[in-house]
């Protein structure tokens, strides 16, 4: 059972990385509620915290402030990704 749980956490962390790559490649912070929505966690804050923990520990993401209206933390990639135009990606492929 423990192996299944760790595989699920790794899958959740990968889902979060996909959200960061899609919506925050330039290093912009994404609020926790948006991360839960786009990763498909259905408002489960414990699942979000479990998925964020290994990414924070590995230094891949960092806390990037907070949403002042919702009073929730926001997170960003530790290093912005190189953003290329879709045409450049097709040429390189």
pLDDT tens by residue, 41-83: 988 999 999 999 999 999 999 998 877 777 889 999 988 776 5
Helix (H, G, I), strand (E, B) or coil at 85: coil
CB 26 within 8 A of CB 80: yes
The two tokens of residue 45 are 């804050």
Confidence at 89, pLDDT banded by 50, 70, 90 = very low
pTM of the model: 0.74
How far is residue 5's CA from residue 90's CA, in Å, rounded to a whole number? 37
Tens of pLDDT, residues 3-54: 656 677 779 999 999 999 999 888 889 999 999 999 999 889 999 999 999 9
Band of residue 93 on the pLDDT scale cut at 50, 70, 90: very low
In the chain, where are the structural domains located?
Answer: 2-92
Structural contact between residues 41 and 47, judged by C-beta atoms closer than 8 angstroms: yes
User: In CATH, what is the architecture of 2-92?
Assistant: Orthogonal Bundle (1.10)
């Amino acid at each position: 059972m423990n192996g299944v749980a760790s595989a699920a956490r790794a899958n959740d962390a990968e889902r979060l990385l996909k959200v960061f790559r899609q919506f925050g490649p330039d290093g912009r912070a994404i609020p926790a509620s948006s991360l839960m929505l786009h990763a498909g966690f259905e408002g489960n804050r414990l699942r979000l915290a479990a998925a964020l923990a290994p990414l924070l520990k590995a230094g891949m993401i960092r806390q990037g402030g907070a949403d002042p209206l919702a009073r929730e933390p926001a997170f960003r990639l530790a290093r912005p990704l190189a953003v290329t135009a879709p045409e450049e990606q097709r040429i390189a492929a």
